[in-house]
């Protein structure tokens, strides 16, 4: 390889575009590096040091065979070089860049571009044409807006994984259910749209986890159940606590303990201290495990109604 091109490729982290290489050597220099195997084409106009590829070489050295064997961050860089400023990473690829779900090695990359951008889908690269494309910069990479990304990625994810990025994005205050709904309105034919809308409605109502949504739908609504305040802020001893389900007249806080927290001694100690502080202002904390909510739904309902009746009787 031409010494100047070798140095330039190293400075660029092993990946260069044709336009970048042309600033250093004539076109024949790049073509020669490919012929001798010093560079390998992974996308049209995008070249890589083959030492960065993993797994066996297929003997062709371009297209999907190269791209599917890249570390995901390097694959993202290759996709950005392919875009050349004409679009953005989108769908599950943008979801990775936003930090809400990591793409697996070899998983198809998704790009969104304006109509007429001249960028086509390739093996393992799916290009979506979009009107009124809004491009943001995240970690020095062009991506679609978070709300658009969450909606676009929804039908591409396994059903068991769909809710988690949306819940986390809302919980981290990176977006709101209303802003995601605004995007969803413009995609009437989205696969799984009804399920996404139901999730957003639950989040807008104050649910903050998959377990709370389960409780809302199957346990804490229906005959006899009050209208609980969700994530109600209560200040005690200079600290603010957010109660999962709070019945203010009965001074009752129902906490839903997820499966991940079960058996964690440190979390248990934190919960006990919190419950004791709430007791100093007359709030009774009742906790239900993930297992009981799922497997003993009717028993939990009966217990909640009995506890509330007892609290009302004691107060009366």
Residues paired with residue 256 on neighbouring β-strands, in sequence order: 288
DSSP 139: T
278 three-state secondary structure: helix
Specify the domain boundaries for CATH 3.40.960.10 within the chain.
210-315
Superfamily of domain 210-315: VSR Endonuclease (3.40.960.10)
pLDDT value at 57 more than 60? no
pLDDT of residue 2: 82
- Mean pLDDT confidence for 310-314: 91
List, in order, residues 6 or more apart from 16 with CB less than 8 Å away. Answer: 8, 9, 39, 46, 47, 81
Scored b (16 or more CB within 10 A) or e, 196-230 reads: bbebbebbeebbbbbbbbbbbeebbeeeeebebbb
DSSP 104: P
Model pTM?
Answer: 0.82
pLDDT value at 61 more than 60? no
53 vs 163: which has the higher pLDDT: 163
- Mean pLDDT confidence for 230-238: 91
Going across the sheet that includes 141-144, the strands are 125-129, 109-113, 88-89, 141-144, 135-138
């Amino acid at each position: 390889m031409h010494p100047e091109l070798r140095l330039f490729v190293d400075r660029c982290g092993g990946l260069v575009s044709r336009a970048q290489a042309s600033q250093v050597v004539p076109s024949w220099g790049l073509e020669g590096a490919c012929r001798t195997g010093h560079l390998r084409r992974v996308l049209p106009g995008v070249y890589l040091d083959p030492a960065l590829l993993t797994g066996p070489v297929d003997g062709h050295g371009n297209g999907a065979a190269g791209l599917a064997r890249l570390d995901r961050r390097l694959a993202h860089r290759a996709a950005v070089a392919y875009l050349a400023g004409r679009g953005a990473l989108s769908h599950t690829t943008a979801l990775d860049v936003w930090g809400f779900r990591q793409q697996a090695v070899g998983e198809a990359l998704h790009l969104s571009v304006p109509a007429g951008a001249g960028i086509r889908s390739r093996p393992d690269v799916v290009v979506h044409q979009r009107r009124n494309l809004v491009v943001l910069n995240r970690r020095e990479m062009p991506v679609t807006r978070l709300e658009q990304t969450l909606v676009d990625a929804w039908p591409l994810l396994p059903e068991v994984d769909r809710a988690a990025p949306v819940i986390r994005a809302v919980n981290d205050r990176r977006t709101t259910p209303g802003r995601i709904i605004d995007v969803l309105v413009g995609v009437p034919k989205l696969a799984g749209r009804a399920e996404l809308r139901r999730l957003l409605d639950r989040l807008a109502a104050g649910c903050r986890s998959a377990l709370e949504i389960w409780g809302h739908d199957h346990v804490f609504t229906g005959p006899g159940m009050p209208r609980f305040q969700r994530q109600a802020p209560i200040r005690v001893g200079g600290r603010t606590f957010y109660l999962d389900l709070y019945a203010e007249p009965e001074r009752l806080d129902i906490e839903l303990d997820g499966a991940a927290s079960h058996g964690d001694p440190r979390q248990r100690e934190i919960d006990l201290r919190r419950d004791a502080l709430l007791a100093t202002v007359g709030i009774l904390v009742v906790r239900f495990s993930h297992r009981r909510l799922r497997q003993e739904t009717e028993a939990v309902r009966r217990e909640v109604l009995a506890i509330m009746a007892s609290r009302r009787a004691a107060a009366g």
